[in-house]
Amino acid sequence: MDELAHAGLGPRPFARWADPEDAAVPSSKVPVWLVRRLGGLTPSPAVPVSDIPVPPSALPSAATDALRSAVGAAHVGTDAPARLAHAGGQSYLDLLRRRTGVEVAMPDAVVSPGSHAEVAAVLSAAGEHGFSVVPYGGGTSVVGGVEPVRGTAPDGEPRRAVVTLDLSRMDALVGVDEVSRTATFQPGVTGPRAEALLAPYGLTLGHVPQSFARATIGGYVATRSAGQASTGYGRLDDLVVALRLATPVGEARAGTGTPNAAGPDLRALFVGSEGAFGVVTEATLRVRPAPAEHRYELWVFPSFERGLAAVRAFAQDCPRPPDVVRLSDEEETRTTLATQGAAGRALSIYVRTRAGRTPAVCVLGWEGAAGTTSDARSAALPVLRAHDAIRVGTRAGQAWRRHRFAGPHQRDVLLDAGALAETVETATDWVNLPHLYDAVRTALITSLEGCGTPPMVFAHVSHIYPTGASLYFTALARRLADPAAAVAQWADAKAAASEAIRAAGGTITHHHAVGRTHLPYLEGEIGPVGARALAAVKAALDPAGILNPGVLVEPPSGAGGDGVRPRE
Ligand SMILES: Cc1cc2nc3c(=O)[nH]c(=O)nc-3n(C[C@H](O)[C@H](O)[C@H](O)COP(=O)(O)OP(=O)(O)OC[C@H]3O[C@@H](n4cnc5c(N)ncnc54)[C@H](O)[C@@H]3O)c2cc1C
């Protein structure tokens, strides 16, 4: 994994994932066929950040002084650049609002603690001065998790200010236990930095979400994220050994390192708590020897349906499934091949000739110690043969691996060109997967067609389990020109997809988390007793409701509290 240590990006620009001038950003443009397919696009560059109105900070001076004494004056920002840099996350609507300058919400201050004690001091200042606190790791949330929302106090009074708690200064490796194979990180360590810190020990975390370049350990824990190699390395939930948190009522610890029966496992209370119960200040995670071999191959099935049967067999019956399994539906297969230029066209002809008219490509990756991947691959061959898979080869597989972090850059390019580009994810059990797939696809297509913008909607399966799998949809369409209409265009499509997920028995989120966007659907999934249990935990750990109002638990007086913006 050594190359992952160098996969970082420079500072994040205001309305994009990355600066196109950044050396790590691959150059790409929207192919002419895609522009045509979406009915023509009108390029629409982002407004300059200097045009975004910045209202004065509403943080009272006594609260600012309290923060300064908590973390040092140099680490409290009430200036426009600091506040603009923390104006929400990285969903399509976040980017759209920042690109158009419409309804951009920003915190009243940004505070950067350097230790657990400083986080605790910030929470105590928040309790005393009555402002809310939004924990912020890499800011890659796509569900409104880092939206600066002021919220309301338990008595229903609107809060006057919101402070974003930027954890980027807390980016140290606290320790490595090479014998037990665990590593303890501060929360602000990013994906590439975690790998760089582990490299001298010959260890890896193996957790590679597509947001790897910017997302942090604290964010991973808080959202229960799933990396691209989750089949082999596990989801983040599987890696958490122990946690330390600062909560408004004191320090919390969960997990002891070894399995035990000391009551319910408190890790499960905090993994996925999205900054609503406390701030993760240390996370001890399972690590493994860094693999010496990476073998990635592209295979093709005669159809998505056949591919689904094969990847299910990997999850259920294969003694050593591939570490990476990513099966595209037929539309994603066509689109992927069509965007590869001449090489893709040649591959497309080859794939159709060998696999038939409805090919579904599948990336398979094996990682491990020297000399082990070939045995692991052999274990997968009977499954592939039984489902009529054709091997395309390692070159295409390795090319996928090289470009696996390109998605957010391509989205920048699509947005510049005037497109709508967003994703929707869910999961269900195997028996229900085809039904859920059809329902969500149909909902997205119907909603976007209803706006006069017929979309392309495609999907893949990239997280497989013995009982079920995830579905990850991408929707592309022509973006409506008027900024408010463009927001409604996606908000309506997302609502239709969420409703379809609910009706078809999927989860509202397999790995993007609940945030504010998915909160209206949570109770339907976990039931009223489940929602009450979460609210009771919130009341016990954050009685004044200062942490992340409107995330995970309904605030006392409804949506988000201060009406900064309606939920999408
Ligand atoms: C382009 C793109 C690709 C993505 N790909 C994936 C993917 O492959 N897999 C996946 O699972 N997700 C993915 N995501 C979603 C996102 O990256 C993950 O949710 C990630 O784990 C968030 O990490 P972060 O550090 O950016 O957290 P943030 O966005 O900063 O925060 C996310 C939530 O966690 C809370 N939080 C952050 N730090 C802490 C802390 N220390 N203590 C308590 N709460 C905290 C925040 O308040 C917020 O509610 C993607 C997002 C984008 C934009």
Residues 6+ apart with CB under 8 A from 144: 88, 89, 91, 94, 515, 516, 517, 551, 567, 568
- The band of 559, judged by pLDDT with boundaries at 50, 70 and 90, is very low
C-alpha 143 to ligand 1 mean position (Å): 9
Ordered strands of the 173-177 beta sheet: 173-177, 182-185, 279-286, 240-247, 250-254
Alpha carbon 459 to chain centroid distance? 16
pLDDT of residue 10: 87
Which amino acid, one-letter code, is at 549? Answer: P
C-alpha 138 to ligand 1 mean position (Å): 7
| C-alpha distances out from residue 376 to 315, 369, 399, 417, Å | 14, 11, 21, 43
Q: pTM (2 decimals)?
A: 0.96
Block residue for tokens 């369409």: 477
| C-alpha distances out from residue 364 to 58, 234, 381, Å | 52, 16, 11
Distance CA 182, CA 356 (A): 47
Say if ligand 1 is within 6 A of residue 89 CB.
yes
Best residue for ligand 1 mutational test, from 210, 247, 411 (most atoms within 8 Å of Cβ): 210
C-alpha 512 to ligand 1 mean position (Å): 7
For 78-96, the pLDDT digits (tens) are: 999 999 999 999 999 999 9
pLDDT of residue 518: 98
For 235-287, the pLDDT digits (tens) are: 999 999 999 999 999 999 999 888 899 999 999 999 999 999 999 999 999 99
**Which tokens belong to 324?**
């990476």
| C-alpha distances out from residue 217 to 137, 209, 270, 381, 383, Å | 8, 11, 13, 35, 35
This complex has an ipTM of 0.99
pLDDT at 392 over 60: yes
pLDDT of residue 29: 87
- The band of 564, judged by pLDDT with boundaries at 50, 70 and 90, is very low
Backbone angle region of 513, left / alpha / beta, with phi > 0 → left and psi within -120 to 50 → alpha: left
Binding site annotation covers 423?
A: no
Residue 246: beta bridge partners?
Answer: 251, 279
472 is catalytic: yes
The residue whose CA has the least distance to atom 5 of ligand 1 is 210
Say if ligand 1 is within 6 A of residue 142 CB.
yes
pLDDT of residue 561: 41
Which amino acid, one-letter code, is at 375? Answer: D
For 306-351, the pLDDT digits (tens) are: 999 999 999 999 989 999 999 999 999 999 888 777 777 778 888 7
pLDDT at 352 over 90: no
Distance CA 327, CA 403 (A): 16
Binding site annotation covers 278?
A: yes
| CA-CA-CA-CA dihedral for 312, 316, 321, 324, to nearest 10 | 40
Alpha carbon 381 to chain centroid distance? 32
Helix, coil or strand: residue 551:
coil
Q: CA torsion sign, 510 to 516 to 518 to 519? A: positive
Domains of the chain listed by start with CATH number: 3-26+34-166 (3.30.43.10), 293-404 (3.30.70.3450)
| Cα angle: 437, vertex 455, 498; to 5 degrees | 45
| Cα angle: 356, vertex 357, 358; to 5 degrees | 100
pLDDT of residue 336: 87
SS (H, E, C) 76-143: EECCHHHHHCCCCCCCHHHHHHHHHCCCCCCCCEEECCCCHHHHHHHHHHHHHHCCEEEEECCCCCCC
| C-alpha distances out from residue 441 to 34, 337, 363, 420, 471, Å | 19, 21, 22, 16, 10
pLDDT at 560 over 70: no
Say if ligand 1 is within 6 A of residue 462 CB.
no
